[in-house]
Amino acid sequence: MSDGTQVAAPKLKLGALTALVVSALIAAGIFSLPQNMAASAGAGAIIIGWVITFFGMLTLAFVFQTLANRKPEIEGGVYGYARAGFGPYMGFNSAWGYWISAWIGNVSYFVVIFSALGSFSALGFFGEGNTLPAIVCSSVLLWMLHFMICRGIQSAAFINILTTVAKLVPLALFLVLVIVAFKVDTFRLDFWGTAALGSIMDQVKSTMLVTTWVFIGIEGASVFSSRAENMRDVGKATMIGFALSIVMFVAVTLLSMGILTQPELAALKNPSTAGVLKAAVGDWGATLMNIGLVISVGGALLAWTLLAAEVPYLAGKDGTMPKFFGVVNKNGAPVNALWLTNGLVQLFLIITLFNSAGYLTLLLLATSMILIPYLLCALYALIIAVRKDGYSEAESGTRTKDLLVSLVASVYGMWLLYAAGPKYLFLSMILYAVGVVFYLKARKEQNQKPFMPAEVVIAVVVVLLGIYAAYELATGALTL
């Protein structure tokens, strides 16, 4: 074992960084978008939701690109920027929230993979992905990925490139076939959906956690900035991944609404692209989409297992999280972070046997955990632009652009917190409250004062909200 500074692991090139972003973005979410979006919104509201998401996520992508260029010395992406801007406790919360979001998201991926396999008659025993056979097979796949990554980040990243290419093929075929079968009259039917779905604003709000979920991973390249061969590739990979993903997300969502009506889409089983393509071309279309999902989510699981372990590893290496997380093996893989991350995934897989929480519930909880880290990154980019930190006098035009972009990204981050509603943010406080124990241990290891005065107030509020949310959950007043 080593402390992470004694292992000279190979660096990641632009292709590997881009594949990490694309693989993290284009995963289970895109295959379930038609149903997830239509569940509580009509076509008009969905279009508005995507417009808001496009500009919001575009500014967030620019934020990560700007921070990678202006602050190349900061490692860890989401976590590192929050720590630099708002101190160790908020930096810890960003790392903690991102880490939990990542591994809870991985649990949802296992559920949806075996739900897709359960759609085949010969594999019906997998059910909705949370039956005993599904959990056993999920566990086998989990630990196969674990030991693959333990052999080294570079080899895992190469395999991720292959799966990224493989997953785009069935999605491209889906788009071609749905374009051919698209019916304008179906798309226009009850366009605004106000009669059955409520106000347009409520419909738009209902899409926000789903659209944010599919974009979690936009920061993937920045998380691996310390392993990048060239820091400028981090920003390039982020923008390439964003451009490719937004086109596919919007196309899959809107084209599906020209095949089936909103109520029909809302009633589909996930992965709902299978139901859409079945309606367009027959049973073989559903088979194609289910196979595509398995390939896609398999690749995403690899990318997200890498991301989930990297953040606590970097935080453990610099003392923001307990030093236990900062240990690597002879191949440069963060073994302790991997063991704990995948151990928790295993625990939650077992819990799904006894809890009705499915894919959508897990993704909403995972998304709520990452909203605060995203907002902190946007606010940090705004701070450095206001302070002219890292800008020369000749770059006033660039600074003005960055100032505007980071301001919009910050407003978008606040809008997401509002649109998410209280339930999942409230539930997330339970997990943030548990994190205080790990933070205090890390501060003790560093012989540092636990909290600054303002941080004490934040920590007390988080713990009290966490205790109350746990009580509400235990009594049944709050449910997953």
CATH class of the 14-426 domain in this structure: mainly alpha
Q: Is the pLDDT of residue 7 over 50?
A: no
What does the pLDDT look like over 67-124, one tens digit per residue? 888 888 887 778 889 989 998 899 999 989 888 888 888 888 888 888 888 888 788 8
CB atoms within 10 A of CB 128: 17
Cα-only R_g, the chain: 22
- Which pLDDT band holds residue 153 (cuts at 50, 70, 90)? low
What does the pLDDT look like over 246-258, one tens digit per residue? 999 999 999 999 9
* Lowest-confidence pick of 251-260, 344-353, 416-425, 436-445: 416-425
- Which pLDDT band holds residue 357 (cuts at 50, 70, 90)? low
Q: Is the pLDDT of residue 2 over 60?
A: no
Whole-model pTM?
0.79
pLDDT of residue 3: 47
What does the pLDDT look like over 269-313, one tens digit per residue? 878 999 999 999 999 999 988 888 888 887 778 777 887 888 889
Q: Are 34 and 254 in contact (CB under 8 A)?
A: no
3-class DSSP string for the chain: CECCCCCCCCCECHHHHHHHHHHHHCCHHHHHHHHHHHCCCCHHHHHHHHHHHHHHHHHHHHHHHHHHHHCCCCCCCHHHHHHHHHCHHHHHHHHHHHHHHHHHHHHHHHHHHHHHHCCCHHHHHHCCCCCHHHHHHHHHHHHHHHHHHHCCHHHHHHHHHHHHHHHHHHHHHHHHHHHHHCCHHHHHCCCCCHHHHCCHHHHHHHHHHHHHHHHCCCCHHHHCHHHECCCHHHHHHHHHHHHHHHHHHHHHHHHHCCCCCHHHHHCCCCCHHHHHHHHHHCHHHHHHHHHHHHHHHHHHHHHHHHHHHHHHHHHHHCCCCCHHHHCECCCCCCHHHHHHHHHHHHHHHHHCCCCCCCHHHHHHHHHHHHHHHHHHHHHHHHHHHHCCCCCCHHHHHHHHHHHHHHHHHHHHHHHHHHHHCHHHHHHHHHHHHHHHHHHHHHHHHCCCCCCCHHHHHHHHHHHHHHHHHHHHHHHCCCCC
- Which pLDDT band holds residue 362 (cuts at 50, 70, 90)? low
Q: Is the pLDDT of residue 209 over 70?
A: yes
Residues 157-173 have a mean pLDDT of 77
Question: 416-428 burial, b for 16+ CB within 10 Å, e for fewer?
Answer: bbebbeeebbbbb
Residues 443-472 have a mean pLDDT of 91
Spans of all domains in the chain: 14-426
- Which pLDDT band holds residue 417 (cuts at 50, 70, 90)? confident
Q: Is the pLDDT of residue 6 over 60?
A: no
Q: Is the pLDDT of residue 208 over 50?
A: yes
* Lowest-confidence pick of 2-16, 76-90, 228-242, 369-383: 2-16
Q: Is the pLDDT of residue 364 over 80?
A: no
| Euclidean distance between CA atoms 343 and 314, whole angstroms | 19
Residues 195-222 have a mean pLDDT of 81
pLDDT of residue 359: 56
Average pLDDT, the chain: 85
pLDDT of residue 353: 79
- Closest of 181, 175, 382, 388 to residue 280, by C-alpha: 181
pLDDT of residue 5: 44
- Closest of 21, 360, 411 to residue 216, by C-alpha: 21
